[in-house]
């Protein structure tokens, strides 16, 4: 089957922001370390996979996502992105566009939601998803031959491999995170329920809804503190359902026209050259980006 590569761009931009030396500057003197790192990642991904169908999802809903309206404390543990980083996010999106790589971004939906929605649209066209991200939240989307790829560690897994990683099936991941919480997104989970207990409960009951409906049975399970866990579930049933709304990836985010099936488009040589000038990329990076975009690289001739 033809793969559709769905890239969690923000993960790789943030990773470059934190790992690349702060010595790169654009033509206006602003830092470009995150753009440099992201450009290298993007070039390597395209060189290795030569994708025919791809979409790069960005987080524009850093503080405006619908989840914030449901739960104001959502991701409140994260400091706002500084202007230096926001500027680089804009450059990264521009880089994808001039290379002919479709970009997904929305002010109300996160990158995970855009990936989930694109995956669903791709399946309708016979495409198999390859989610390029290490984010455990995205594992809930895996079905059949879909796969998730932790690019930095070189690890890939399908829905069948999720249980070995987290102790639950792929379709249980949202319920699992609602129960044990997700510190990265500032979701506390149900008090007294950790990862192992959450996995054990879902193994026995199947779903969060079934667990809450039969919470009086928890006391009879064979693990320490089972009686207290059942009481906690009854006490925090509504908040557990709220957390499940937060951890469930929306697959109905607006994507615009998807009739082209996220097929790569022709790169814009002039726009790519101008962006490389603005970002003050060196000749090796320019050559790699042009090649990845299917464009001929012509070094500037000094007069």
Count of C-beta atoms within a 10 Å radius of residue 154: 7
- CATH code, domain with 201: 1.10.150.20
Question: Average pLDDT over the chain, rounded to whole?
Answer: 94
**What CA dihedral angle connects 137, 12, 91 and 41, to 10 degrees?**
-130
Report yes or no on 104 lying in a domain: yes
Give the number of domains in the chain.
2
Residue 303 pLDDT class (50, 70, 90 cuts): very low
pLDDT tens column, 47-78: 999 999 999 999 986 677 999 999 999 999 88
**Residue 236 is assigned to a structural domain of this protein:** yes
Asked if 114 and 181 sit in the same domain, the reply is no
Indicate if the pLDDT at residue 226 is higher than 90: no
pLDDT confidence tier of residue 34, bands split at 50, 70 and 90: very high
In the prediction, which pLDDT does 61 show? 65
Domain that holds residue 32: 2-162+250-292
Tell whether 27 and 74 lie within a shared domain.
yes
Q: Is residue 299 part of a domain?
A: no
CA atoms within 13 A on the CB side of 229: 24
Same domain, residue pair 121 and 223: no
In a domain, 297, yes or no: no
Q: Exposure string (b/e) for 236-270, b if CB count within 10 Å is 16 or more?
A: bbeebeebbebbbbbeebebeebeebbebeebbbe
Q: Are 175 and 165 in contact, with CB atoms under 8 Å apart? A: no
Residue 38 lies inside a defined structural domain of this protein: yes
Residues 181 and 154 in one domain: no
- Give the lowest-confidence range in 17-21, 41-45, 119-123: 17-21
Do residues 75 and 69 touch, judged by C-beta distance below 8 A? no
Task: Decide if 55 is inside a domain.
Answer: yes
Same domain for 6 and 123? yes
Rounded distance, CA 47 to CA 167, Å? 34
Residue 252 has which token pair?
């109905």
* Segment among 22-26, 124-128, 268-272 with least mean pLDDT: 22-26
* In a shared domain, residues 99 and 237: no
* Same-domain status, 88 and 157: yes
- Are 154 and 185 members of one domain? no
Q: What percent of the chain has pLDDT over 70?
A: 98
> Which tokens go with 214?
């039969």
Per-residue pLDDT reduced to its tens digit, 109-167: 999 999 999 999 999 999 999 999 999 999 999 999 999 999 999 999 999 999 999 99
- Neighbour count for residue 23 (Cβ, 10 Å): 9
Of 225 and 235, the structure prediction assigns the larger pLDDT to: 235
Q: Is residue 302 included in any domain, yes or no?
A: no
């Amino acid at each position: 089957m033809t793969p559709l590569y769905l890239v969690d761009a923000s993960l790789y931009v943030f990773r470059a922001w934190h790992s690349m030396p702060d010595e790169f500057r654009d033509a206006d003197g602003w830092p470009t370390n995150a753009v440099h790192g992201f450009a290298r990642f993007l070039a390597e991904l395209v060189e290795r996979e030569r994708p025919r169908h791809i979409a790069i999802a960005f987080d524009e809903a850093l503080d405006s996502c619908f989840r914030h309206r449901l739960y104001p404390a959502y991701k409140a543990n994260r400091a706002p992105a500084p202007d230096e980083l926001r500027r680089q996010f804009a450059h990264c999106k521009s880089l994808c566009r001039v290379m002919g790589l479709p970009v997904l971004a929305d002010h109300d939906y996160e990158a995970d939601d855009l990936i989930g929605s694109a995956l669903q649209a791709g399946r309708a066209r016979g495409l198999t998803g390859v989610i390029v991200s290490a984010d455990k939240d995205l594992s809930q989307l895996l079905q059949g031959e879909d796969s998730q790829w932790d690019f930095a560690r070189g690890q890939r897994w399908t829905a069948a491999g999720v249980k070995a990683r987290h102790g639950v099936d792929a379709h249980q991941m949202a319920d699992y995170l609602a129960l044990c919480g997700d510190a990265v997104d500032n979701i506390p989970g149900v008090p007294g329920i950790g990862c192992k207990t959450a996995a054990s409960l879902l193994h026995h009951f199947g779903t969060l809804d079934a667990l809450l409906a039969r919470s009086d049975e928890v006391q009879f399970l064979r693990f320490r503190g089972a009686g207290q866990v059942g009481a906690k579930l009854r006490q925090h049933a509504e908040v557990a359902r709220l957390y499940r709304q937060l951890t469930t990836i929306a697959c109905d985010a607006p994507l615009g026209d998807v009739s082209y099936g996220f097929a790569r488009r022709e790169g814009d040589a002039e726009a790519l050259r101008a962006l490389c000038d603005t970002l003050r990329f060196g000749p090796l990076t320019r050559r790699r980006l042009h090649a990845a975009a299917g464009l001929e690289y012509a070094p500037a001739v000094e007069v």
